[in-house]
Chain A
Amino acid sequence: MQNDMIGPRGPKPRSIFRLSNLVVYGTITILALYYLAPLYVMVVTSLKSMSEVRLGNVFALPVNLTFDPWFKAWSSACTGLKCEGLMGGFLNSVIITVPSVIVSIAIASVNGYALANWPYRGANIFFTILIFGAFVPYQLMLYPIVIILRELGVFGDLAGLVIVHSIFGMPILTLIFRNYFSSLPAELFKAARIDGAGFWGIFFKVMLPMSLPILVVAIILQVTGIWNDFLFGIVYTRPESYPMTVQLNNIVNSTYGEKEYNVNMAATIITGLVPLTIYFISGKLFVRGIAAGAVKG
């Protein structure tokens, strides 16, 4: 009997090679290749010896695989007079980034919490001024900050740079924390007040435990921003405490002798590894946090 025929029901599955799929995935593939090409060139170049680089076949795979450029970039490439590689700069960058990230997030989260839940007299004006700060070009403030740091006695110290980074992170961080805390149910805050928790009690016991997504967003923004900073690093520190980005520039832009493209490529990749790692570890949380903050303004 025909009715007993066994088989899948519903319309016939469509070929995965149909035109629309080819167009979409073709475009995606081409775009991906376009953006990946420079990275590919960097990686392969960094794994070639200089004699191979001189041949000029930038897309060719290395014939004799070598990791020497990486070691040289890390420990013996010349930045100006010294030839100690990026190692010292890496340490400096860590010493700058870690406290800056912690201090700026600590202050901005409390700022945002106070603005969202404890509206005090003048809170809106304060917030407006703070946000205005986000739109002023950094370069305008370079010299005034030099004077301020000099008067505070921290000009040229890493401490001075940490202060500058913490302050410059304030507008955008305060904004995202304020928006996040505003999006949490107001009744939760009221319940905690009735339960007798104070300003800090509510912050640490109720608000902060709910803030993981937005903390991840803040950490990514700050780590990437501070790690990649060049301008403040070169202006407010002395050569012995230059961050990695400044040393990278000194390696790459050194005009002495032959340009060691393989070493330059390796140094650049090493410098970019930290923000990349942070992003790959917490990328998912990052997206969720951005979305969470965006649901309610």
Chain B
Amino acid sequence: MLMESVSIKNLDLNFGSVEVLKNLNLDVHQGEFIVLLGSSGCGKSTLLNCIAGLLDVSDGQIFINGNNVTWQEPSERGIGMVFQSYALYPQMTVEGNLSFGLRNAGVAKAEIQKKVARAAEILQIEALLKRKPSELSGGQRQRVAIGRALVRDVDVFLFDEPLSNLDAKLRTDLRVEIKRLHQQLKNTMIYVTHDQIEAMTLADRIAIMREGKIMQLASPAEIYGRPVNKYVADFIGSPAMNFLEGRVEKGAFHFAGGVLPLDQYNFSEGMDGDRDAWIGIRPEHVLVAETLAKADLTVSVRADIVEPMGADTLLWCEFGGQSFRIRLDGQFEIKEGDMIDIGFTSNAISLFDKSSEMRL
């Protein structure tokens, strides 16, 4: 059996009477980049703190490289952690910050210097080694924070919303840099964020969390294309998916907007019976103009609001008795009040059971 890098078994965590994590299981492969994604309060940071050993679990076990580390000290687990607020020691220089862990571990001076130099080179902060954190910019600080994990040769990197304090431009740059770092080091990385762009771009697999449970653990493409339930479908994608109520009957979806044949829809196992359901249509999957030829259902709608966003144009219209979003190419010429033909095809939609909200 292949040894998992991080393995979490039946993890429970309670704060008093509040259950934060409930019977949670997660296996992270060697060298994998896992993103824990969810809105605030879903338990993603708590889970990361449990893996780091900063929170005592109520029940269950955590294995790192096959060792049961559930009750080990954070420093003994072979993990490094990068925090949202950088958490650099303000009175130490960059060099002091990088070497603090090694000095605590009693590593020889020459060895420390070598490791600090190597980390500084990888992160391109050699020129900053003698500075104090207060003399660094946000991006430089976060690099030093990553370096602190890097020098310790850890097996697993834990990132707790590392880019949330940075401005948009810098966030994009550092995101790419973290991805490059992962390709270079090939360490296991577990990354917590509430930003779905970060999740989609960085992750090998994304774990979508809600109320202390993992809703779906899958590749970004799978999460985007085949969300397991309505919550995940709604959470991933911007602008968000359109949902319309209707009923699956005799291989077609009947709703206020018309009847959509489901010949090309890939039903989950045993979920193809007739029932009340939601249809989920991503704004970018609505067919227009020449692609209309592929449509299984075509309707005509009036453009209520046109929001040009440069590369794309977001169109709001009234469809199926509610407000409906369509994402068009930025070059598409349309103005408010125009009529437009739109179409849907059953291989680019999602269907969810009306009551359980699970994928059909």
Q: Which residues of A contact B (CB under 8 A)?
A: 185, 187-188, 190-197, 201, 205-206, 209-210
| Contact assessment for A195 and B90 in the assembled complex, using a CB-CB cutoff below 8 Å | no
> Are B74 and A188 touching (Cβ within 8 A)?
no
Taking a contact as CB atoms under 8 Å apart, the answer to whether A187 and B85 are in contact is: yes
Residues 81-138 of B at the A interface (beta carbon under 8 Å): 81, 83-85, 87-91, 100-101, 104-105
Report B130 CB to chain A, min CB distance, Å: 17
Is B75 interfacial (CB-CB < 8 Å)?
Answer: yes
Residues in chain B near residue A205, CB distance under 8 A: 89, 100
In the complex, 12 of the A-B residue pairs with CB atoms within 8 angstroms, ordered by the A residue number, are: A185-B87, A188-B87, A190-B49, A190-B87, A191-B87, A191-B145, A194-B79, A195-B152, A196-B101, A196-B105, A197-B75, A197-B104
B76 CB → nearest A CB, Å = 8
Q: Which residues of B contact A210 (CB under 8 A)?
A: 90-91
Tally of chain B residues near chain A (CB < 8 A): 26
The interface centre, meaning the residue of B52, B80, B81 with most chain A CB atoms within 10 A of its CB, is B81
A215 → B minimal CB distance (Å) = 14
With A and B bound together, what is the CA distance between A197 and B100 in angstroms? 8
The 7 A-B pairs with the shortest beta carbon distances in the complex, nearest first, are A196-B75, A195-B101, A187-B87, A196-B104, A209-B91, A191-B87, A187-B83
Given contacts A191-B81, A191-B89, 17 further A-B contacts (CB under 8 A): A185-B85, A187-B84, A187-B85, A188-B89, A190-B52, A190-B87, A191-B87, A193-B53, A193-B54, A194-B74, A195-B104, A196-B73, A196-B74, A196-B75, A201-B104, A205-B89, A209-B91
Beta-carbon nearest neighbor of A206 in chain B: B89
Chain B interface residues toward A at CB < 8 A:
49, 52-54, 73-75, 79-81, 83-85, 87-91, 100-101, 104-105, 145, 148, 152, 160
- The reply to whether B105 and A194 form a contact with Cβ atoms under 8 Å apart is no
Residues from chain A with a CB closer than 8 A to the CB of B152 are: 195
Give the CA-CA distance A192 to B75 in the complex, in Å. 9
B81 touches A190 (CB 8 A): yes
Cβ contacts under 8 Å, A187 to chain B: 83-85, 87, 160
Contact residue among A192, A194, A206 (Cβ-Cβ distance under 8 Å from B80): A194
Which chain A residues lie closer than 8 Å to B90 at the CB level?
Answer: 210
CA distance A188 to B100 in the complex (A): 13
CB distance from A290 to the nearest CB of B (A): 20
Asked if A192 meets B100 with Cβ closer than 8 Å, knowing A209-B91, A210-B91, the reply is yes
| Shortest Cβ distance from A189 into B: residue | B87
A185, A195, A210, most chain B CB atoms within 10 A: A195
